[in-house]
Structure 1
């Protein structure tokens, strides 16, 4: 991994070589109905078909493989997660024979808790605040002498997520733009690094739930978030963290477009319903955010030269007994 506090395209290619034998090359799906609706060709990268049901498997596996190669004596890892990273790290840890502890808040959906537990991890519950997740994680890391692996703010995680862009541009070389849902920013930082290296003119846009403030931060070049990290009030539990990470932030500031798509719960539900009904795919609300962005008025007003638009369907881990429109 680069030691100058950024990730490089070669880090992404190294990650691809390491993880390719174990992860899926996810398909690209299209919808002529969507193309007509938005007046552009839209290509959906279905990471909902990835191992553990989300893109997170890529970064988690790259992180644990890098960890065991650098520290062969390591016996376990710990993280906190709203679900997908927990499942992914649990799966990746099992692959390399590490113990895994995942801290989740008490209000995490039961379906996600059960999915994480199915990988044989130690699940620890904490109070439903971001600060408590961090505190509990740090305590376990210290007591058990096991490293903490961030869901996004980690260069090995970012490099793993960047492999999505390498695949996507191989599958659809004429992409003009990619829309990436953003939480801590690991996927956006990785994808932007790889996509811009392969095709410098490509535009990478992020999409966020209401209240995340990314556009204001990107346009001023400053981290304007309140200093105590907050959870957002959104149905997209995979995008619940308000701040971009300290490590992902400079990469995103440097490489991602300053115009940000902001979507609300109603728009996310409308987008999810479209994908369920018309495309016959199960996606979670975080993936619905990306679809909502492409269906938005803001996209309609964008440069018509952006003819071929990619959207990352980042995951499909939704509780089918509690779909957000019921």
Structure 2
């Protein structure tokens, strides 16, 4: 059972290693979203450009000397890949990362830049976890999953811990949902500190595995999603994360790719910050009135900002604004 103490312990481990990211506000964005006071936790400004560094470093920092000598393995569409690669380098070990062949080139390049070995798989025909587990078994590596791991979940929960320390009590916390590591960690913190807070997850409408799983009362597998929010293109929530989501998350809403583009545009033009598609889904939900009527104080997690200039320009040019 993930606890607030687990997250607080993770916060001590990453202190001085991970960035304490800023919280942005904007009167114009508040008005665009119905007048609520919005607080944006900018994990797009985290090391490796995403919240994933928190969980990866927390998990790798706990490995034994023998495990560090052998190295680590991971599977990821990009942000967890970069996080594990950097965390492994900081810990003095090496990483082997399984990544899809259609992963954004900037994420592939950054992962290699941190010193990791990349093994490519085909997203729509191969099971990435099975590929990573085989490599880990063959080479004696420790597998660091992207979300379904207690130390990873605890590390991600430090996002909400920092946000609430800065803002004080919030009425709603809005968090992107992929495999569930971020929202399970954040919900654990939010509900422990402020039991009345409402925790809302946001998925791309073509990747609503968590919403369907909650409706069914058990984990549901869907076809691998096709969405611009590549970091949220998960076919089934994690086992550990889903147990937390079922207990602590109040609602899951979905947004379209067009709504995500519009949110990225508003964040760029009004908050002066670059957010990748997966990171913009929380703002997209607010702009699309998925949570209407909004209460007075709302926290929103910008989970990442890893998008190339070329891709951002393409998404910006096709946004409905």
Could you say which TM-score interval applies, normalised by the shorter chain?
A: over 0.9
CA distance in 1, matches of 2:77, 2:236: 15
- Cα deviation, residue 8, structure 1: 1.0
Q: After the TM superposition, which residues 134-173 of structure 1 pair with which residues of structure 2 at under 5 Å, given as runs?
A: 134-173=129-168
Pick from 279, 296, 321 the counterpart of residue 310 of structure 2.
Answer: 321
Residue of structure 2 equivalent to 1:246: 239
**2:93 matched to 1:98?**
yes
**2:283 matched to 1:291?**
yes
CA distance in 2, matches of 1:92, 1:100: 9
Structure 1 unaligned blocks of 5 or more: 1-5
CA distance in 1, matches of 2:209, 2:120: 29
Q: Look up the SS of the partner of 1:170 in the other structure.
A: helix
- Cα deviation, residue 128, structure 1: 2.3
- Per-residue CA deviations over 1:287-326 (Å, capped at 9, x if unaligned) read 11111011122222x3x5x210000000110011122244
**2:192 matched to 1:180?**
no
Q: Look up the SS of the partner of 1:104 in the other structure.
A: strand
**2:214 matched to 1:218?**
yes
Structure 2 unaligned blocks of 5 or more: none
Q: After the TM superposition, which residues 2-21 of structure 1 pair with which residues of structure 2 at under 5 Å, given as runs?
A: 6-21=1-16
- Cα deviation, residue 216, structure 1: 3.6
Residue of structure 1 equivalent to 2:265: 273
Matched residues, number: 313
- Per-residue CA deviations over 1:45-87 (Å, capped at 9, x if unaligned) read 0011111110000000000011237x55642000111100000
Residue of structure 2 equivalent to 1:39: 35
- Cα deviation, residue 149, structure 1: 0.8
CA distance in 1, matches of 2:26, 2:184: 27
Moved over 6 A (4+): none
Aligned pair in 2 of structure 1 residues 116, 60: CA closer, same or farther (>3 Å)?
A: same
CA distance in 1, matches of 2:97, 2:246: 30
CA distance in 2, matches of 1:64, 1:254: 27
TM-score by length of 1: 0.92
Asked if structure 2 preserves the Cα contact closer than 8 Å seen for 1:130 and 1:231, the reply is: no
TM-score by length of 2: 0.93
Aligned pair in 2 of structure 1 residues 213, 106: CA closer, same or farther (>3 Å)?
A: closer
Residue of structure 1 equivalent to 2:52: 56
Asked if structure 1 preserves the Cα contact closer than 8 Å seen for 2:29 and 2:270, the reply is: no
